[in-house]
Structure 1
Amino acid sequence: MAKRKGLKARLLAGAKRGYGFAGFLLRRSLRDNVIDLAAGLSYTALLALVPMLAIALSVLAAFPTFDDARERLRGAIFEILPSEQASAANDQFQSFLDNASNLTAPGVVGLSVIALLLLSNINGSLNHIWRITQPRPLASRVLVYWALLTMGPLLIGASLTLSSYAFTLAQTASEQVIGSFVGLSRLVSILLAAVGFALVYFIVPNRAVALRDALTGAVAAAVALEGLKALFGLYIANFSSYALVYGALAAIPIFLLWMYAFWVIVLGGAEIAAAMPEWRVTSRRDGGTERLANRLALALSVLCRLAEAHRDGASVQRARLLRSLPATPSELDESLSRLRRAHLIQRTSGDRMLLARDLSQVDLESLLEILGLRLHASIAWPEAPRRVIQALDEAHASYRKASLASLLDDPDLLESTARLRPVERAAPLKLDEQEEAGTVD
């Protein structure tokens, strides 16, 4: 009986965590405008489809093992189209590929630029989802794009080859095992799609992504993609009303809808991979709420760790700054960016950070200004609210004039305030023009 109650409690706790994560993921996706990002990628993919497929088929042509897979890839492209339009679309596509093979060097460069445009938009969308503001160096981006252009077609070819092999075995097997082979082929397709998505989520963002988070998002995207293929196949096989409405143009809306749904799934998997570490952190912090005090606590924690390393003449790797802190990577990036623009810290080679200024010459008020956390109400507010905010701000005046070094050495403010002396600032901390213009939130 006790075991049953314990199991029920664990199930309820797991369901509560799942419900909380689902709400967190939904809010995060809405803030990131995933729907709009998918629409933009769909539009770019229309321009880059033929160049990308030409490159993919060229990569597969270099491997004789994938000869059958190359033909199956071409066939799979038109499976979502109505039968009466699939043949004409295939002829047009073959004409495009023939023309592409006869291009001169400038034409090949043009096609490559269009293909790279799609990859650049994918990179930008994923960086937006992961809250990354600093892109990779150009050389690193080129290597990532090249890996996607080469590994992607090979994974697709392997998926189609294994699927073809499974269906061949199913045709020669008894009826009892046909269903098993079909299920196996779908499982292999999901696994290979998951590997491809995981590589994208793990490699493309300019940030260290935990492998388990990338795999979780990739598996979710792969399962959703397999479900999407099944739904589209069911719709096309049983409902022909779209052909009556659009006639000869029926292939266009179906193809656009398919492409849009595909990018929603890809970005949705990325949202899951990016949201998981944030949820693990924020769920430990005031029930998942984000408070302004956390920004100050994070900045003080970073400065404290850098000050300890500075005493030993060392720097700290960026990833180690976040260790055991209840903060997300994106929050750390924002804090580091503000501190760097104020010349409090510097970045060295190897993505390492070091203290750039003596903390005994910097007071808390300066740090609050850097983080945009000063209590200040504009004149536009009514007098009563402004006086309340002003009173709150003045109540902490003695703390704001204390140096950061004194506060970090003696954090017991209630007992040490009387012993903390205002620092004589050698020079005001200069922020970048962007912050001086009032863009700090």
Structure 2
Amino acid sequence: MMGVNAKEKFGRFKFHSIQFFWKIVHDWSFSLSSLIGYNLLVSLLPLILCLFSIATLIFQGDQAVIDNIRNRLINAFPKDEGIADIIDGLLKSLSQQAGLVFLITFCVSVFAGSRLMIGIDDVLTIIYRIRERSAIDQNIHAIKMLLSFIILMPLLLISSSAPAVLTKHEGLAQIGTALGSAIFGFLLFELIYYNVPNRKMLFRNTWAGALAAAIGLQILLSIFPMYVHSFMSNYVGQLGFVIVAVLLFYLFGLVLVIGAQINAYFFDHIQPLPVGLGTLLSRNLDNENAILIDGNLQPKDNTSTLIEGLNPLP
């Protein structure tokens, strides 16, 4: 009897594993990961400068905190005088023009970051098989999400690094920082999975994917510093750093997509497409009514086309 139950459980496990694999493949998950990784890469630099300018404005009168930030940034890279000079120049510029830098980087961050949120929205629309928002609603929702991240991220980053600041014991500091970083990652992914999709989401259906994504992110963040400290001391390693950094952004996108797929398949029971997304669209498209680029067809009114795009049918 136990053998039959074990065989049945293994059969179910095998079936769901195969189905989950095909959901990942047929949803273009790897291409969607590239989309998220690219948008993250574009939006990250102005966001980092914005956060640095905020920290400079807050701790401008406390040189000990500024020096602590400087030392941690320098220690994140191999011993190199060039890195120290770059960071010193950056902090000096920020201390002199923190208000102007904040204003500029905040505006750029809102635009670039909202493109990232829209990209994630499009990805989750495909994964959850839901209707997309209109262009106006999508941009408004993306800006709201981005502003919430800008407000929450400094608090979460401070809480994740607090153990390293409050304790002098190196082992406890590392454990506390890793734990705080894991909690920060979980909250980050949970906020995305819970609020971005254009449908009502429940915590019980999103926590597992957020936890899996947070663990994956911690693994990536543990491996990347190892490469920096081990291989960036020579010219070849510095060239490889660019490739590894781009790969890191792609893997972050993949982690986010896989976490969403876990939630969609195992908790919302959304089944895989029978074929790839492009093939499915081709099969289901009514070629007789398709709008094709043809000189013999009457051009469609541009104004009505724009209105339809901004306000799709319910």
Equivalent residue for 2:149? 151
Equivalences for residues 275-314 of structure 1 within 5 A: 275-277=265-267, 280=269
State yes or no: 1:436 paired with 2:289.
yes
Correspondent of 1:217 among 190, 194, 209: 209
Q: State which of 99, 112, 115 in structure 1 corresponds to 2:113.
A: 115
Cα distance in 2 for partners of 1:232, 1:209 equals 33
Please give the alpha-carbon distance, in whole angstroms, between the structure 2 residues aligned to 1:69 and 1:34. 42
Which residue is equivalent to 1:253?
A: 243
CA distance in 2, matches of 1:74, 1:130: 43
Give CA deviations for 1:220-279 in whole Å, capped at 9, x if unaligned: 000111111222233344x42x6545365454223222222222212221222222245x
Q: Which runs of 5+ in 2 are unaligned?
A: 276-282, 293-314
Is residue 160–residue 179 contact of structure 2 (8 Å, CA) maintained in 1? no
Q: State TM-score, norm by structure 2.
A: 0.67
Match of 1:135 among 133, 136, 140: 133
Equivalent residue in structure 1 for 2:179, among 187, 193, 199 = 187
Measured against aligned partners, the alpha-carbon deviations of 1:382-405 in whole angstroms (never above 9, x if no partner) come to: xxxxxxxxxxxxxxxxxxxxxxxx
Aligned to 2:250, what secondary structure does the other structure show? helix
Residue 261 of structure 2 is aligned to residue 271 of structure 1: yes
Change (3 A) 1:81 1:125: farther
Query: What is the alpha-carbon distance in structure 2 between the residues aligned to residue 141 and residue 195 of structure 1?
Result: 23
Cα distance between partner residues in 2 of 1:159 and 1:105: 21
Larger fraction in helix: 2
Q: Does 1:90 align with 2:90?
A: no
Contact 2:29 2:257 in 1 (8 A): yes
Give 1:215 shift.
0.9
For residue 24 of structure 1, what is the aligned residue in structure 2? 19
Listed as ranges, the gaps of 5+ residues in structure 1 are 173-177, 283-287, 292-370, 373-431
C-alpha deviations, 1:53-105, integer Å up to 9, x for none? 234445667877xx999988887777765443643553575588677853697
- Measured on the aligned residues, the alpha-carbon RMSD in Å equals 4.4
TM-score of the two chains, using structure 1 as the length reference: 0.50
Paired with 2:221 and 2:190, the residues of 1 have a C-alpha distance of 20
Paired with 2:57 and 2:179, the residues of 1 have a C-alpha distance of: 27
Report which structure shows greater RCO (CA 8 Å, sep ≥6): 2
AA of the residue aligned to 1:87: A
Counterpart of 1:352?
A: none
Correspondences of 1:160-199 after superposition (within 5 Å)? 160-165=158-163, 168-169=166-167, 171=169, 178=171, 182-199=174-191
Q: What percentage of aligned pairs have identical amino acids? A: 20
What is the SS of the residue equivalent to 1:208? coil
**Counterpart secondary structure, 2:206:** helix
For the structure 1 residues 269 and 255, does the alpha-carbon distance in structure 2 shift closer, same or farther, using more than 3 Å as the test? same
Distance 1:127 1:185, change over 3 A: same
